[in-house]
Structures are given as structure tokens and as C-alpha cells.
Amino acid sequence: MTDFFRFLYELIVSPNRSLLWKLPPILGFLPGKSELYVLAFIHKSTAITNDKGQALNNERLEYLGDAVLGSVIGEYLFNKYPEQNEGFLTKMRSKMVNGEALGSLALKMELDKLLENHVTGATSIKHISGDAFEALIGAIYLDKGYRMAKRFILRKMVERYLNLEELEKAETNFKSQLIEWAQQGKKEVCFYTDIEPYDPTRFISYVSIGDRLFGSGTGVSKKEAEQQAALETLKEIKP
Amino acid sequence: MTDFFRFLYELIVSPNRSLLWKLPPILGFLPGKSELYVLAFIHKSTAITNDKGQALNNERLEYLGDAVLGSVIGEYLFNKYPEQNEGFLTKMRSKMVNGEALGSLALKMELDKLLENHVTGATSIKHISGDAFEALIGAIYLDKGYRMAKRFILRKMVERYLNLEELEKAETNFKSQLIEWAQQGKKEVCFYTDIEPYDPTRFISYVSIGDRLFGSGTGVSKKEAEQQAALETLKEIKP
């Protein structure tokens, strides 16, 4: 009951009450340490500092939430697919928790409406919302423990928004992701792929965008080498 | 008490009793589902299969343990360093849980003596022991839950074997790691580093081993570019 009365009090007097009002339906429970949840929605671009001059943002919470999310989803997939090997589980998890997927999810959960509105700069609202989702998990973990964080992830994320059958089928195609990115920005992407000079059993692929050389990759097939080169390039252009 | 009597019974009749006898002092508690712990010490190189022909080894448990370990260490560092940013926490964690560190730790814990002795092939016993350590954490998590896995990690790993002050100072120097690796194998490593042609504010570095070109990297300084190139090369040569 303490949590209940403290939260009720904060709903009335806290300077963050507009955020706090929106939390219970999203969380499915009443927050205890509401300052953690407030912090979860402060992106680093707001540049708020505390009285010691330290940056006050959700990056640390995001770091923690990312780890907890990985662990919960890891266990979920481990139990869900008792006959699949570790490679399958790793791939499925990365389809569920990559930045793009979490960003879309956070927008569906309307977390963008809870963000501190000082956000500026080039980072997209989708990306920032995805980070806030992870930070929110970090906040729940610190406030209510692993079990509650797990319940939140399974009920509010996995059961509500994820279609595992679709995800199983989804190919993570880096080459097409890169080409799509280039088309949006009206840039020209080329793949130069050939037999690797020093190891003729393998292929090597280079990616150029405009007249600049980006990632390279090798693999036992042309496709594998190109995927690897595309992935390296994506990492470079979307840090 | 059920756990106690079941375990006592298995200590006498189980075909794996020689392993089971060694577990309690390592774990600090009595295992419940002892088959999980047995599985944790079966490396994939043993090629044991079940009656359906599926591989029976610790890879799935390792996948799970890796995630739980990341989460526990993540929380530990989060609380230990309240004033450090997310970049510091990430770097510290990777110093604590990288393959090399876990392998050394597992040897100190003498986990190599618990491994199924069918191990063959080129993978080092250190590497295999480190994998078994992660699998052991996965087994504890499935058997006893997150709290017990956390207690095991903090008491048996962090408090006993890790010196955080040393780790804070330790530089993760990929270039020297690569050079050391090459010296051991009597291979010649060269770094070609220069101003990046398309962006004169940055440097680009290529690594060659013998007459073959490996990783490349860029950075705002020569050192950063070389570190990046060395890291990429290490990934390629030690998959």
C-alpha cells in the first residue's frame, strides 16, 4: 500500500505528474521509485545535468535494460524452442531486440508521447523511443526486480506485439536494407564481388556508396560475402 | 529437503555420479535438476546425440547463461559505479565476460576437470571451459532461478576472482593482442595506416598477415584506426 499512497501523492504534486499519469496503463502496475521512470524518458540529447554537472539521461538505464531484455528473451526462446540450436535462438533474439524492432514497438506502445520534449538533432524519434523502451525495462528492474521486468516484457511486448511465426520466416537481409537506405537518400550503392585473390575457395565483396569505398566482407558464397559487406557498411553509416 | 534426498540418491546411482560429487563445493548449494548440470559439461565436440538423433551438448545452456551473466554483471556494475556513463560500464563488462577472461576464470575454478572427456579437435581446453562456465550459469538459472544464478555469479566469480581496480586500468589493446597472436604462430603482421582518401580528417588502417589482407578500420586518430582494424582482424582469425 505504501507504493499506492506515495504514487497518489506524486500524481498530485510531482513536477513530472503529466508523465506519471500515463505510466500505470503502460506498465500494468504502480511504480514505486517514480524518479527512475522519469529518468527513463530523458534522452541524452536533452542535455539535462544534475547539480554536480553530470549528464542526467537514460543511457545508464538503457544499458541495464538492454541486458535484462536479452536475458528474458533468451530464456523465453530457450523454452519456446526446445529443439532448436543456439544459432537459431541467437538469430531469433536479434530479430526481436534489434534497434529497428524495438523502435517500432516503442512507437506502437506510444512511448514517444512520454519523452522529455527537449529532443533535438538528427536521431529519429523511433530510435529514441526504442532506447527509452530499454531504459524503461531498466527502471522496472531496479524498482521491482527481475520477475516484474520479465512479466512486463512477456505480457506487454512479446504476447501483445510479436508474431513469432512471422519472425521465424523473416530474413535479415542486409543487402536489401542497404539498398533501401540508399534509395531513400538517392545514393548509388554498388557491390563488387569476386573470388578472393588469396583464397580461391572464398568470395570477397566490397561496397561503394557514391565514389567512396565502405565495408568489405568475405564468405564461402557470393551471397554470404555480400551480406557481410552490407552489414559492415550499415554499421559504418548508421552508428 | 526433496532436493537433498534426490541428490543423495543420484550421488549413489547416477551414471554421472563422479561429476555430481564435485558440484556442491563449486556451486555452494545442492543441485535440483542434476541432468542440467551434467549437460552443462558436454561440449559440442563430444558429438553425443539423444535417441532422436539431436545433438546433446551445452550450446543452448551456454546461450542462456551468457545472457544471464550479461544481465547480472550489468546490474552489478550499474550499482558499483553510480557516476560512470554507459560507455564505461559496457567496456568494463566486456573486460569481465569476454571469452578469454571467462576461460581463465573457468580454469581457476577447475571446471576443466568436470568436462566430459570426449573432447577432441583444435579448440583449447581454456575456451571449452569458459563455455562450460556460461552453460553452468544457464543450468543454475533453469534449476534455481535468477536470484540463485545472481548469487552464484557474484560470490563465486566476482568476489572471489575479479579485481575491479585492475580491470579498470587494463587497456583492451587489440593491436598488441594481434601482434602477440602472430608471434606465437610465427606469422608476419603489418599495419598500413594513412589519411583516409575521401575524408582527410580521418585515418584508415589495413592489416595484412603474410601476403593476405585482413581487417580494415577507420578512426579520428592513427591509433583508433589501427585498433579498429586489429579488432576486425581478430574477429576474422578467431571465429
CA nearest neighbour of A226 among A199, A194, A197: A194
CA nearest neighbour of B39 among B62, B6, B22: B62
For A90, the closest of B63, B211, B218 (CB atoms) is B63
State whether residue A64 sits within 8 Å of chain B by CB: yes
Mark whether A127 and A220 lie in a shared domain: no
Mark whether B55 and B34 lie in a shared domain: yes
Mark whether A75 and A141 lie in a shared domain: yes
Question: Is the pLDDT confidence value at A122 over 70?
Answer: no
Q: Indicate which CATH number applies to the domain containing A180.
A: 3.30.160.20
Query: What letter would DSSP give residue A50?
Result: -
Residue A238, pLDDT score: 64
Report yes or no: A89 and A81 within 8 Å, Cβ to Cβ: yes
Is residue A139 classed as helix, strand or coil in its secondary structure? Answer: helix
Contact list, A83 vs chain B (CB under 8 Å): 54
How far apart (Å, rounded) are the C-alpha atoms in residues A144 and A152?
Answer: 11
Of the three residues B147, B169, B191, the one that is the final residue of a domain is: B169
C-alpha cell at B8: 543423495
What count of Cα atoms within 13 Å lies in the side-chain half-sphere of residue A20? 20
CA A87, A93, A98 angle in degrees (round to 5)?
125
Interval A86-93 mean pLDDT = 86
Of the three residues B116, B145, B169, the one that is the final residue of a domain is: B169
Mean pLDDT rounded to a whole number for chain A: 85
Mark whether A142 and A114 lie in a shared domain: yes
pLDDT tens digit sequence for B169-207: 876 678 877 887 777 777 878 888 888 776 777 888 888
Q: How confident is the model at residue B119 (pLDDT cuts 50, 70, 90)?
A: low
Mark whether B163 and B58 lie in a shared domain: yes
**What is the CB neighbour count within 10 angstroms for residue B162?**
16
State whether residue A88 sits within 8 Å of chain B by CB: no
The pTM of this model reads 0.75
State whether residue B59 sits within 8 Å of chain A by CB: yes
Residues A66, A116, A226, A232: which is the catalytic one? A66
Cα–Cα distances in angstroms (integers) from residue B204 to residues A190, A218, B215, B216, B237, in the given order: 21, 19, 11, 7, 20
How far apart (Å, rounded) are the C-alpha atoms in residues A215 and A224?
Answer: 14
Mark whether A47 and A158 lie in a shared domain: yes
Report yes or no: B178 and B234 within 8 Å, Cβ to Cβ: yes
Angle between helices B99-108 and B125-144 (to 10 degrees): 80
- Bridge partners (DSSP) listed for residue B192: B206
Phi, psi of A127 (to 5 degrees): -60, -45
Between A60 and A235, the higher pLDDT residue: A60
For chain B, what is the HEC assignment? Answer: CHHHHHHHHHHHHCCCHHHHHHHHHHHCCCCCCHHHHHHHCCCHHHCCECCCCCECCCHHHHHHHHHHHHHHHHHHHHHHCCCCCHHHHHHHHHHHHCHHHHHHHHHHCCHHHHCCCCCCCCCCHHHHHHHHHHHHHHHHHHHHCHHHHHHHHHHHHHHHHCCHHHHHHCCCCHHHHHHHHHHHCCCCEEEEEEECCCCCCCEEEEEEECCEEEEEEEECCHHHHHHHHHHHHHHHHCC
Residues B131, B134, B143, B226: which is the catalytic one? B134
Match 563445493 to its residue by C-alpha cell.
Answer: B25
For A216, the closest of B55, B216, B218 (CB atoms) is B216
Of the three residues A169, A185, A212, the one that is the final residue of a domain is: A169
pLDDT tens digit sequence for A31-46: 999 999 999 999 887 7
Residue A239, pLDDT score: 46
> Cα distance from B153 to chain A (closest Cα, Å)?
15
Express as a percent the part of chain A with pLDDT over 90.
38
Q: Indicate which CATH number applies to the domain containing A64.
A: 1.10.1520.10
Number of domains making up chain A:
2
Mark whether A125 and A205 lie in a shared domain: no
Residue B88, pLDDT score: 86
pLDDT tens digit sequence for B68-106: 999 999 999 999 999 898 878 988 898 899 877 898 999
Residue B239, pLDDT score: 46
Mark whether A8 and A121 lie in a shared domain: yes
What count of Cα atoms within 13 Å lies in the side-chain half-sphere of residue B235? 13
* A80 Ramachandran zone, left/alpha/beta (phi>0; psi -120 to 50): alpha
Mark whether A85 and A196 lie in a shared domain: no
In sequence order, what are the residues at sequence separation of 6 or more whose Cβ sits closer than 8 angstroms to the Cβ of residue A59?
A: A44, A135, B85, B86
How far apart (Å, rounded) are the C-alpha atoms in residues A83 and B54?
Answer: 8
> Cα distance from A230 to chain B (closest Cα, Å)?
15
Report yes or no: B228 and B205 within 8 Å, Cβ to Cβ: yes
pLDDT tens digit sequence for A140-169: 999 999 999 999 999 999 999 999 988 888
Mark whether A158 and A196 lie in a shared domain: no
How far apart (Å, rounded) are the C-alpha atoms in residues B26 and B168?
Answer: 27
How far apart (Å, rounded) are the C-alpha atoms in residues A32 and A142?
Answer: 10
Domain that holds residue A180: 174-237
State whether residue A211 sits within 8 Å of chain B by CB: yes
* Contact check, Cβ <8 Å, B78/A64: yes
Contact list, A75 vs chain B (CB under 8 Å): 64, 67-68, 141
Contact list, B92 vs chain A (CB under 8 Å): none
Mark whether B158 and B205 lie in a shared domain: no
Please measure the distance between the N-terminal and C-terminal CA atoms of chain B and give it in whole angstroms.
45
Mark whether A143 is an active-site residue: no
Is residue A192 classed as helix, strand or coil in its secondary structure? Answer: strand
* Contact check, Cβ <8 Å, B90/A147: no
Mark whether B28 and B124 lie in a shared domain: yes
